[in-house]
Chains A and B, each alone.
Chain A
């Protein structure tokens, strides 16, 4: 709690936490957008979302270590993860798309275990990260430090988000994806190959996660079993924002990023994970309470 006093004594510190949190939150928004996409189009809650993020981080890490410029790691991870997502769809997901949520939840949960374990075997269980060496800005006599790489990551996120929105609005495929989300049966009657749309959607989601992971690898750390927390963050953001609400997703993601930074600073950095998972439970409990009130009015 001493750190709380510190925040009041040195307000620039709060600014530091806010900036860090918002910049990291931008990356959360990407993964959350992907989750909302799969959820909305395929009615699947993709539990292995976080593993895709981490896998993207590893792909980018190895690309960068092999000599690829740091920022090109992002498209590299996206392309590899697109393939991974496609394979995952063709191997497992297409069998569970039209079945109930119980099965698809468990199937993606199994995929999440599988991917986590494979990554731990393939890449080792250590924490890994890569600093591209962009340097930092120092404000307020060095009290506030802004790593340039975080700003770059947030800008890259912005570019990806703009591309995605344009893709969904303008392109033929984007239209087909939206049509399938609205009504899969009607889309099929009108000549949309929904199986292909599902495959594209799932692969696209994996690619988005891969890009996010490449950014996480540069601004933070990755670890084979650190995937679940990204799944939970994405789910939390989507639940807070509501499906199909892009501005909501952005606000919720930035807010979550900032909240995490403040909690880690005020309480204890080790409690950050506990905070994320507890926040999920609290948010869902709140939702449950609100639903109950709503039901009472109906009764």
Chain B
């Protein structure tokens, strides 16, 4: 067992590093897969560990998408002028400008997203479960509509992301390793986080918020911080996503509540919410399944999506890992406290 626990993560890590070279045809898909893993993991911070259903986490993703690109453009050009040109490459970037812009943009994205989460969290996280859920439902769509109405950042016609100056392949590799690095970093950070007292507080809020409050925990503060952490990862994922897609549409790419927004919930629940590996498994399984089977559904893809959400939520809410833990507790329930004998 110990061998498996030590070797398995290393093997997966090696696989992650070599995957783009082993499967060069699927490089873009693999890059997207890492983004999906980050989305599912960060939804699970609130959705699984804290028991707060958020339909609106896509907001921070979208803020990340826009911030990274707008900062990259704004460092060297006038943003209004760039977006007004609408994809006509009248304003170009030298390679140095591009890379400075890329990294400054990717640094700014999580900061802005986390700041937004702080403000929104202060405003909304005094609400309990279902009120919060519906509020976030409104949030995701409001953000998309507002972005579509703001001409400075391109309005509803979107923004063209600056084009990578090197060869296509090297650009794709760079994006792969950026998103793989983000995925691994998110996983490692959450693993540490859930092991701390902070993680226990999140679980306490999920189990009984009134009791947690009565024990003297300032729950609103913890909830806001948790949302900020989720937003940080989402913002970074969004920043990278803008470069993967190459074009930002306010409703279809940035604030894509109907696709990524639903997927992140589905992936986390499918894999097993409230577990560390669950979102990773769920994201991998869902995204692979989506890419393999989707084309055979002939226009019924989105119907299948809706059916899948209903089916998973109603019949399989514990998820794959939750089911495994129930079936084989001796293998999968490591770290759970053994039943303590009465003193």
Is the pairing of A and B real?
Answer: yes
Residues of A within 8 A of B (CB): 45, 47, 92, 95-96, 101-103, 105-107, 109-118, 120-121, 225, 228, 231-232, 235, 239, 268, 270-271, 273-274, 276-278, 280-281, 284-285, 287-289, 291-292
Whether B134 and A103, one on each chain, are in contact in the complex, defined by CB atoms closer than 8 angstroms, is no
Q: State in angstroms the CA–CA spacing of A120 and B300 once bound together.
A: 10
Q: State in angstroms the CA–CA spacing of A117 and B305 once bound together.
A: 9
- Chain A residues contacting B12 (CB-CB under 8 Å) are none
Q: State in angstroms the CA–CA spacing of A105 and B313 once bound together.
A: 10
Q: State in angstroms the CA–CA spacing of A33 and B123 once bound together.
A: 27
- State whether the Cβ of B13 lies closer than 8 Å to any Cβ in chain A: no
Closest to A116 in B: B306
Whether A292 and B262, one on each chain, are in contact in the complex, defined by CB atoms closer than 8 angstroms, is no
**Cross-chain contact of A118 among B146, B258, B303, B308 (Cβ < 8 A):** B303
Within 8 A of A (CB), among B185-223: 220
Within 8 A of A (CB), among B114-131: 123-127, 129-131
Chain A contact residues: helix, strand, loop or mixed: helix
- Chain A residues contacting B135 (CB-CB under 8 Å) are 280-281, 284-285
Whether A285 and B123, one on each chain, are in contact in the complex, defined by CB atoms closer than 8 angstroms, is yes
Q: Interface segment, B15-23, B72-80, B90-98, B136-144?
A: B136-144
- Chain B residues contacting A106 (CB-CB under 8 Å) are 53, 265, 269, 309, 313
- Chain B residues contacting A284 (CB-CB under 8 Å) are 124, 127, 131-132, 134-135, 138
Whether B126 and A292, one on each chain, are in contact in the complex, defined by CB atoms closer than 8 angstroms, is yes
Whether B130 and A101, one on each chain, are in contact in the complex, defined by CB atoms closer than 8 angstroms, is yes
- Chain A residues contacting B299 (CB-CB under 8 Å) are 121
Counting chain A CB atoms within 10 Å of each CB, the highest count among B142, B146, B302, B307 belongs to B142
10 A-B contacts, Cβ less than 8 Å apart?
Answer: A101-B130, A103-B317, A105-B133, A110-B309, A110-B313, A113-B302, A115-B306, A228-B141, A281-B135, A281-B139
- State whether the Cβ of B29 lies closer than 8 Å to any Cβ in chain A: no
Q: State in angstroms the CA–CA spacing of A105 and B269 once bound together.
A: 14
Whether A117 and B145, one on each chain, are in contact in the complex, defined by CB atoms closer than 8 angstroms, is no
Whether A288 and B126, one on each chain, are in contact in the complex, defined by CB atoms closer than 8 angstroms, is yes
Closest to B139 in A: A281
Chain B contact residues: helix, strand, loop or mixed: helix
- State whether the Cβ of B55 lies closer than 8 Å to any Cβ in chain A: yes
Nearest 5 pairs between A and B by C-beta? Answer: A114-B306, A110-B309, A274-B145, A288-B126, A277-B142
Whether A114 and B123, one on each chain, are in contact in the complex, defined by CB atoms closer than 8 angstroms, is no
- Chain B residues contacting A271 (CB-CB under 8 Å) are 145, 149
- Chain A residues contacting B309 (CB-CB under 8 Å) are 106, 109-110, 113-114
Closest to B147 in A: A274
Whether A113 and B306, one on each chain, are in contact in the complex, defined by CB atoms closer than 8 angstroms, is yes
- State whether the Cβ of B271 lies closer than 8 Å to any Cβ in chain A: no
Whether B314 and A92, one on each chain, are in contact in the complex, defined by CB atoms closer than 8 angstroms, is yes
Whether B53 and A114, one on each chain, are in contact in the complex, defined by CB atoms closer than 8 angstroms, is no
Whether A47 and B130, one on each chain, are in contact in the complex, defined by CB atoms closer than 8 angstroms, is no
Whether A289 and B126, one on each chain, are in contact in the complex, defined by CB atoms closer than 8 angstroms, is yes
Assuming the contacts A101-B129, A110-B309, A114-B303, asked whether A274 and B134 have C-beta atoms less than 8 A apart, the reply is: no
Whether A110 and B310, one on each chain, are in contact in the complex, defined by CB atoms closer than 8 angstroms, is yes
- State whether the Cβ of B282 lies closer than 8 Å to any Cβ in chain A: no
Q: Nearest-CB distance from A279 to chain B (Å)?
A: 8
Q: State in angstroms the CA–CA spacing of A109 and B136 once bound together.
A: 13
Q: State in angstroms the CA–CA spacing of A186 and B305 once bound together.
A: 39
Counting chain B CB atoms within 10 Å of each CB, the highest count among A118, A276, A281, A291 belongs to A281
Q: State in angstroms the CA–CA spacing of A94 and B307 once bound together.
A: 17
- State whether the Cβ of B51 lies closer than 8 Å to any Cβ in chain A: yes
Whether B306 and A117, one on each chain, are in contact in the complex, defined by CB atoms closer than 8 angstroms, is yes
Whether A114 and B307, one on each chain, are in contact in the complex, defined by CB atoms closer than 8 angstroms, is yes
Whether A117 and B302, one on each chain, are in contact in the complex, defined by CB atoms closer than 8 angstroms, is yes
Closest to B303 in A: A117
Within 8 A of A (CB), among B292-316: 299-300, 302-303, 305-310, 313-315
- Chain A residues contacting B137 (CB-CB under 8 Å) are 47, 109, 228, 231-232
Q: State in angstroms the CA–CA spacing of A281 and B299 once bound together.
A: 34
Whether A103 and B313, one on each chain, are in contact in the complex, defined by CB atoms closer than 8 angstroms, is yes
- Chain A residues contacting B134 (CB-CB under 8 Å) are 45, 47, 232, 235, 280, 284
Whether B305 and A288, one on each chain, are in contact in the complex, defined by CB atoms closer than 8 angstroms, is no
Closest to A270 in B: B149
Whether A291 and B127, one on each chain, are in contact in the complex, defined by CB atoms closer than 8 angstroms, is yes
Assuming the contacts A110-B306, A114-B310, A274-B146, asked whether A281 and B124 have C-beta atoms less than 8 A apart, the reply is: yes
Whether A111 and B306, one on each chain, are in contact in the complex, defined by CB atoms closer than 8 angstroms, is yes
